[in-house]
């Protein structure tokens, strides 16, 4: 599958605004668009960015709006689409299952626990690429050995989107 160089580690901690390794060393920040009176709605549609410590954009993702993820696009730093999550669960409010596609072809699946506190992603052949679980205020992400950069981007984006949905559900 290749080797991940996006974060140069197979274990990540994802907080509200920062991604670190297990030793607490900052690897990236999560940037949200600024909502202003002049751009209250367009800012929300712009999505979020994950920016490395060198200032390079590592990935961009759609900002979920509402208490569920129906669809979620993910791009690499160059703005190329690396995948789209599409909800496939009838009961999306209690977690869910997602199909992950790229260029119209299914490349894998993802699952989110009923309490939105655990995630798992796998290739279309069923090979697990990552798991994540919420511990306190952070997500502990374990990437499988040999995971590609695009899969890393997809998993990190899914964790960030799930945390946004968790927060929005508290507000509903």
Q: At 122, list the tokens.
A: 């796998």
What's the pLDDT tens digit per position in 64-123? Answer: 877 778 889 999 999 999 999 998 876 544 568 999 999 999 999 999 987 888 999 999
Q: At 90, list the tokens.
A: 């009838």
- Candidates 151, 160, 120; CA nearest to 3 is 151
What's the pLDDT tens digit per position in 35-47? Answer: 666 655 555 556 8
Q: At 27, list the tokens.
A: 């690897």
Which residue do the tokens 């607490």 mark?
A: 24
Q: Can you give the pLDDT at residue 1?
A: 47
> What pTM, to 2 d.p., does this model score?
0.87
In whole angstroms, give the CA distance from residue 23 to residue 169: 31
């Amino acid at each position: 599958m290749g080797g991940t160089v996006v974060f140069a580690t197979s274990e990540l901690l994802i907080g509200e605004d920062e991604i670190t390794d297990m030793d607490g060393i900052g690897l990236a920040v999560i940037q949200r668009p600024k909502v202003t009176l002049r751009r209250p709605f367009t800012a929300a549609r712009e999505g979020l960015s994950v920016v490395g410590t060198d200032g390079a954009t590592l990935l961009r993702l759609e900002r979920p709006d509402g208490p569920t993820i129906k669809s979620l696009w993910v791009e690499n730093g160059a703005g190329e689409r690396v995948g789209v999550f599409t909800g496939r669960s009838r009961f999306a409010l209690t977690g869910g299952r997602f199909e992950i596609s790229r260029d119209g072809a299914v490349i894998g699946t993802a699952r989110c626990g009923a309490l939105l506190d655990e995630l798992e992603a796998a290739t279309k052949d069923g090979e697990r690429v990552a798991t994540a679980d919420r511990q306190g205020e952070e997500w502990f992400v374990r990437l499988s050995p040999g995971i590609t950069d695009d899969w890393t981007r997809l998993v990190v984006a899914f964790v960030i989107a799930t945390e946004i949905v968790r927060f929005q559900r508290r507000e509903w």
